[in-house]
Structure 1
């Protein structure tokens, strides 16, 4: 009995001694400490607070380190299991943090969120979820109304305009304000193609400048084709550049001294230029010696095929005035004023300065029901107005295809003055090289 009690006492003593020297915490206590640390870590990660996350990580690491130190005396197998368990928990925490970091924030569109929650209802009989959604919507209605009011204010309200000073108001009142452009007021005009033949002579600059000032006052579009013989002189080029009129400078380099052949060459070059480039407009051969009224060029824009008007001519030593051109009833040509020369019968007794025609007759015969495109050019043969009459015969068949202009052929808008002086030497570049000595010197 004593031996049994001694054995029992020895077993109790040994157990007591083992519990006294066993410094390791109980598994339940260790699990509770690690659970507390992990719960703090998850709470800090969910709240996205960097300070709490760092403090939780520190506490977790301290718990793990203390747990490692406390279990240092355990068996190697138990020590490895505890270390593996801690690493697994740390890995779980790391994955949870990554998942929370990559999860997008909640949507700000509350109405869409509520609608999506309504769509996710498991069934219509779920009264509790429906009541919760209705409660959320009623709570969010004031915020939605406030957001709509804010958007309306941003759209409708304009920024306040600062008050102007007196000087600024006076400046605005004094400044010119262009009226708005009305498309219905814009007038579409036909293009005018004015052909002028010129040559180097004493009165060339006077004639060209006078005609240039007239054409400058004609409303555009207007193209001035100037054909010069025998070359493009510097003086003519300067006059054309300073005229303010759109122009094209052509030349006729035909080696001849016959004035009639030179003029025919110049006009034919202009006709070829119109055909080649298919210029669409009203063609008129404006001689530089003629005096034109600006209103005549506006009358030319009324022409559909061929238009004509009367011309006043000064003839004889006493400058007697003679009319040359059509007689009209309305705009229909019924007769002619003829300055008929002896022995020269003409079908159409009119000069170049008394008619104009549509340029499409030269290069578009189908428009005018012409079977073939004839060579509509001038010929040097023919005197006393035959050259003009033969050219007109290629453009029209008779007077029924003509249009009388200038107030039914009653106004004179072109004057033919014979002011050409006798043969004079043309000073090159308008410079005099001789007779520069003073007749009355200053002493």
Structure 2
């Protein structure tokens, strides 16, 4: 209870001293600051926001007469108890007016899968009005992935899209993630009418600011990606504020030498190009997809991230792990290790 009271005191102080545009925006700002400081979950934070908005509406005249003094201790206690037991009200919020973001994430079963998706989930849980399309290269959805997605509280669809056998059997580099991303495009065409979609691999790292940026996308936007190729960077080049080419460590004759994490597309723009798709050609997936959005030229791209001066997406790579050794059931069959091993590939 004391911890809850402390959170409310912090929010109230931030609320009255933050110079925001509206009372609701001030509340959201204050709760967000307390969330990142104290590690509150997005669900609890959302509940706090709504509780304080309701409280503000009920007591605006009282607050005015008292010159915005903090509520008494008894009121704080009552608010905390009410928040703990009352379900979140289903009323319109500012989130309803944000353009939706559709995050398309290809994934496949491996030791790092759940850790990678867990890390990514905690980033996405901080983003408003987001729908996560997690698409496995598998014939059956992995139960652990579904369980993780359900725990996040995010809007999501867990889909499967195995790589066609002819590409699995092909020698050399495989066009990984293509069937997954094309399945995501199929879902977008069938279910989305507005907003922006973004191909976000589960082994990358994303700055929270990136999602505010890509929400601005009207056609196709582009921005830098760090830790990419031998140059350590993949980015559009701007000279005197205008597009002047691409900087990438592997051009290889590509019209669009960009990283998969370096562009986003408006949903309406995609609908206007019903034949747009990603080719099953290793190394040329991005280039092939962007060319399929014709009419669209590199100079037409909407350049984000402060004129491509900020790195907001990083092509990080987790160390590859060997599959875990089988558990000796004779020795450990009656121990906690059985359940733990079920979580490890």
Task: State the TM-score, normalizing by the size of structure 2.
Answer: 0.63
Return the offset for 1:387.
2.0
1:241 to 150, 165, 169: 150
Name the structure 1 match of 2:292.
Answer: 394
Note the alpha carbon deviations across 1:160-195, whole angstroms, 9 max, x for none: xxxxxxxxx974587559xxxxx9988831110000
Pair 1:266-2:166 in alignment: no
| C-alpha distance in 1 between matches for 2:187 and 2:95 | 30
Q: Conserved in 1, the CA contact under 8 Å of 2:258 and 2:287?
A: yes
The TM-score with structure 1 as length reference comes to: 0.50
Task: Say how many residue pairs are matched.
Answer: 244
- Structure 2 spans left out of the alignment, 5+ residues: 1-71, 81-91, 333-345
Residue aligning to 1:353: 261
User: Which residue matches 1:323?
Assistant: 233
Distance 1:210 1:202 in 2: 14
Distance 1:226 1:347 in 2: 29
Return the offset for 1:260: 3.3
The 4+ residue runs of structure 1 with deviation greater than 6 A are 183-187
- Cα deviation, 1:363-411, whole Å, max 9, x if unaligned, reads 2x2xxxxxxx441111112x43x22112112225213321111111011
Take 2:246 and 2:204, find their aligned partners in 1: how far apart are those partners? 21
**Cα displacement string for residues 305-349 of structure 1 (whole angstroms, at most 9, x for unaligned residues):** 11110111255xxxx6611011235875332212125xx211111
Query: 1:215 Cα shift?
Result: 0.2
2-structure distance, mates of 1:228, 1:255? 13
Matches of 2:116 and 2:219, distance apart in 1: 29
Q: CA RMSD in A?
A: 3.1
Q: How far, CA to CA, are the matches of 1:175 and 1:299 in structure 2?
A: 39
1:309–1:405: 8 Å Cα contact kept in structure 2?
A: yes
Q: Where is the helix percentage greater, Structure 1 or Structure 2?
A: 1
Q: 1:175 to 1:208 in 2, by over 3 A?
A: same
Partner of 1:336: 246
Aligned to 1:193: 102
Q: Distance in 1 between matches of 2:105 and 2:153?
A: 16
Flag the structure with more relative contact order, 1 or 2, with Cα contacts below 8 A and sequence separation at least 6: 2
5+ residue gaps, structure 1, are 1-168, 178-182, 366-372, 439-443
How many angstroms does 1:436 deviate by? 8.1
> 1:293 corresponds to which residue?
207
Q: Cα–Cα, structure 1 residues 321 and 171, in superposed 2: closer, same or farther, change >3 Å?
A: same
Whole-angstrom CA distance in 1 between matches of 2:234 and 2:228: 11
